[in-house]
Copies of this chain bind each other. A is one copy, B any other.
Amino acid sequence: MPNNQFKKGELYSFITGKASTAIARNLQKKFNTAGLKITIEQWSVLYHLWKEDGKSQQELCNATFRDKPSITRLVDNLEKLQLVKRVPSGNDRRINLIYLTKQAQKLQEETMGLAEATLNEALEGVPQDRIEICKEVLQVVYDNLR
């Protein structure tokens, strides 16, 4: 018995993720306006390296929910921008460990401030308890499909 909670007219936004698209575009514009020449996707990789760098590309795949070719090319472009460096692992010669450069470390504070500003705009007028419920529902969706 399917839980037929969705009427057809309601399918669209959930599938296409208009809200997260709007958030990403807003943040990308803030980056551009601030003269920060990085993409949202590059930022999402840096985000996990700021928590702790020296991660392998595979670990970045898991953290960012991207496949291996996507991470290969994102790391390629981040290396071109001199924001990260690939360092071969001593233990396992298949593995690259990805380290932040000094320039990337400088980006953290500024971009995090812009990201918080975007979320504050996005969620203006939404009570905290409803935000919590929304986050929890999205987490279940992710866990159900992963």
Contacts and interface: CB of A to CB of B under 8 A. Distances in A.
A18 interface: yes
Interface string A103-116: 00000000010011
Contacts of A118: 15, 145
Interface of A: 2-6, 8, 10-27, 40, 44, 47, 64-65, 112, 115-126, 128, 130-131, 133-142, 144-146
A123 B21 CA distance: 20
State the copy count for this chain.
Answer: 2
8 contacts: A3-B128, A4-B120, A8-B112, A14-B119, A21-B65, A22-B145, A122-B145, A130-B136
Given A3-B120, A130-B136, A141-B122, A17 B17 contact: yes
Contacts of A11: 47, 112, 115-116, 119
Nearest to A118: B15
